[in-house]
């Protein structure tokens, strides 16, 4: 069986390693072949960008060589797919190579798009790339005080990021002895301060306690950089001296160009994780159109389910379990306290009060991630 994984991010890497372990014997005998096609020789730990933006991690801590993360036996090529020919069960790469497959997994991820909001890219700081996170850090270091507005695009990657960056900015300015010179103002697209009701019930009083003001039902429409005003779809507006954006994101262009899904999101079966209408094509992580958090843990849990199922398909000809929508998100509540939210399709989260212990576990996980990508954790 020829298994082709398109994408070398968190989902693709965990899946590849999971499969290589489960199918060790089949790989050795040539019954199975696993090929990974990626756009980059580097693997980035994307959640670390949040920490780069406030100076608590350095960019070089976020990268490893992708080849070094993979189990022996996985054929890894830095040669991104440009054409998906699902009717022929083939993909064609940038170099012109054609790969036949029996099972295809698409895990190409997503990209931040600042350009969809007029004026946003020119006037806001953000942290969804290494370059922008470093630029934001420098801007924060230079900031002398004033009104800092946090604005959130829809849909966005990592639903905890808006809260986390707000709490971290509070501590950043407090630590610099200038919190009294900074007004933090948080805006959010729906009618409470977070999607998860229980998280919102915890976060709103925290904002009140820390003197962070907030405004809900605020979807950014445009940024007037000259007058430093952010306007909303709902008719509101707010002034800023420093604008911090959690931008909207989209799936990758190659997905759209190949007609696999609007805005780069591929219609995906919520339990089996196959692309709708395609029994042997599976989708992982940010690339799906599933109504769940676009977060690393989602890709991780999906990859574990899919690894078990594809291996079972090889061994007994059938999948063995459904993905239940499991997501686990840490929530940094500042620079030294954190909590978490765990939920699935049927059970909402019940976050506890933040503790130092959970924060330190998150800090440890930022290092342990590499063991997780290798499929060891």
Partner 1 sequence: MMAKKKQIDARGSFCPGPLMELIAGMKAADVGDELEVLSTDKGSAADIPEWIKKVGHELLSATEENGVWHITVRKAK
Judged by the rule CB under 8 A, the positions of this chain that interact with partner 1 are 116, 154-155, 159, 189-191, 195-197, 217, 219, 233-235, 248, 262-263, 270, 291-293, 325, 327, 329, 341, 343-346, 348-349
Nearest to partner 1 of 227, 346 (CB atom): 346
Q: How far is the CB of 267 from partner 1 (least distance, A)?
A: 10
Nearest to partner 1 of 168, 327 (CB atom): 327
Q: Name every residue whose Cβ is closer than 8 Å to that of residue 308 and which is 6 or more positions away in sequence.
A: 18, 22, 320, 321
CA distance 377 to 374: 8
* Biggest distance spanned by C-alpha atoms of the chain: 67
Q: Is the dihedral of CA 322, 323, 325, 327 positive or negative?
A: positive
Q: Name every residue whose Cβ is closer than 8 Å to that of residue 205 and which is 6 or more positions away in sequence.
A: none
- Ranges of beta strands (E only) in 79-167 are 81-85, 90-93, 98-100, 103-106, 110-113, 124-125, 146-152
Nearest to partner 1 of 103, 341 (CB atom): 341
Nearest to partner 1 of 182, 299 (CB atom): 299
Q: How far is the CB of 329 from partner 1 (least distance, A)?
A: 8
Nearest to partner 1 of 261, 334 (CB atom): 261
Q: How far is the CB of 277 from partner 1 (least distance, A)?
A: 15
Q: What is the 8-class DSSP label of residue 193? A: S
> Based on C-alpha coordinates, what's the Rg of the chain?
21
Nearest to partner 1 of 129, 263 (CB atom): 263
228-231: Cβ within 8 A, 24+ apart: 228/123, 230/149, 230/151, 230/187
247 near 126, Cβ under 8 Å? yes
328 near 168, Cβ under 8 Å? no
Helix spans in 30-124 (H): 49-53, 66-69, 120-123
CA distance 100 to 94: 15
Q: Phi, psi at residue 96, to the nearest 5°?
A: 100, -5
Q: How far is the CB of 251 from partner 1 (least distance, A)?
A: 12
Nearest to partner 1 of 307, 351 (CB atom): 351
CA distance 182 to 144: 8
Q: How far is the CB of 264 from partner 1 (least distance, A)?
A: 11
230 near 243, Cβ under 8 Å? yes
Nearest to partner 1 of 143, 188 (CB atom): 188
Q: How far is the CB of 346 from partner 1 (least distance, A)?
A: 6
Q: How far is the CB of 119 from partner 1 (least distance, A)?
A: 17
Q: How far is the CB of 115 from partner 1 (least distance, A)?
A: 13
């Amino acid at each position: 069986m020829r298994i082709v994984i398109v994408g070398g991010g968190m989902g693709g890497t965990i899946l590849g390693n999971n499969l290589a372990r489960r199918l060790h014997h089949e790989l050795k005998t040539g019954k199975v072949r696993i090929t990974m096609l990626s756009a980059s020789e580097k693997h980035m730990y994307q959640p670390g960008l949040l920490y780069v933006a406030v100076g608590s991690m350095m960019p070089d801590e976020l990268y490893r060589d992708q080849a070094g993360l993979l189990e022996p036996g996985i054929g890894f090529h830095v040669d991104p797919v440009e054409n998906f020919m699902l009717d022929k069960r083939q993909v064609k790469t940038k170099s012109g190579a054609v790969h036949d497959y029996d099972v295809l997994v698409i895990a190409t991820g997503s990209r931040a798009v600042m350009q969809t909001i007029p004026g946003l890219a020119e006037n806001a700081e953000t942290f969804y790339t290494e370059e922008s996170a470093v630029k934001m850090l420098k801007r924060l270091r230079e900031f002398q005080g004033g009104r800092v507005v946090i604005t959130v695009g829809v849909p966005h990657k990592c639903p905890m990021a808006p809260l986390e960056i707000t709490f971290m900015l509070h501590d950043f300015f407090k630590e610099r002895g200038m919190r009294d010179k900074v007004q933090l103002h948080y805006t959010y697209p729906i009618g409470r301060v977070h999607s998860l009701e229980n998280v919102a019930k915890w976060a709103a009083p925290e904002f009140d306690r820390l003197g962070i003001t907030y405004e809900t039902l605020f979807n950014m429409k445009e940024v007037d950089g000259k007058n430093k005003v952010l306007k909303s779809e709902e008719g509101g507006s707010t002034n800023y001296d420093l604008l911090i954006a959690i931008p909207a994101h989209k799936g990758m262009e190659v997905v759209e160009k190949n007609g696999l899904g609007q805005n780069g999101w591929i219609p995906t079966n919520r339990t089996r994780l196959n692309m709708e209408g395609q029994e042997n094509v599976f989708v992982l992580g940010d690339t799906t159109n599933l109504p769940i958090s676009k977060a690393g843990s989602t890709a991780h849990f999906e990859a574990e389910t899919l690894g078990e199922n594809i291996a079972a398909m090889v061994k007994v000809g059938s999948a063995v379990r459904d993905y239940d929508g499991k997501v686990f998100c840490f929530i940094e509540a500042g620079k030294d306290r954190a909590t978490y939210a765990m939920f699935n399709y049927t059970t909402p989260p019940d976050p506890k009060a933040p503790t130092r212990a959970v924060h330190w576990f998150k800090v440890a996980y930022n290092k342990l991630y590499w063991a997780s990508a290798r499929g060891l954790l």
